[in-house]
Amino acid sequence: MTEQGTIIGTFQYMSPEQIEAKELDGRSDIFFARCGAYEMLTGQRAFQATAKLSVASAISEKDRPDQHRKPMTRRAGSFINKCLAKVPDERWQKREVT
């Protein structure tokens, strides 16, 4: 059983709003998925640090990574960076289907 305010998940893939215990929506999933995509494309984690608190701090405060070990097309890099935006409203938005 978890309690209110308990953080559950893998720190390296948490969105800034999840780390800050704010309300979550689908944009947090976009952030999470793109952290994985970034890792697959570059061979490194999007936000790196040695301790959990340092990772959380990097996600909440550091700019999106733009130094890639492996080359990435400009279009892929732009897409990943938009998905890793700190502010949910700056990420890709879910489209409403009517």
* Domain containing residue 66: 11-90
Residue 79 lies in a domain: yes
The SS3 of residue 78 is helix
Residue 97 lies in a domain: no
Give the chain's domain count: 1
Q: How confident is the model at residue 92 (pLDDT cuts 50, 70, 90)?
A: confident
pTM of the shown model: 0.69
How would you label 15-52 residue by residue, b for 16+ Cβ within 10 Å and e otherwise?
bbbbbeeeeeeebbebbbebbebbeebbeebbbebeee
Per-residue pLDDT tens over the stretch 24-75? 888 888 888 888 888 888 888 888 888 888 888 888 887 666 555 556 677 8
- CATH number for the domain harbouring residue 66: 1.10.510.10
Residue 3 lies in a domain: no
Question: Does residue 16 register a pLDDT over 80?
Answer: yes
Q: Which of 8, 16, 4 is nearest to 64 (CA)?
A: 16
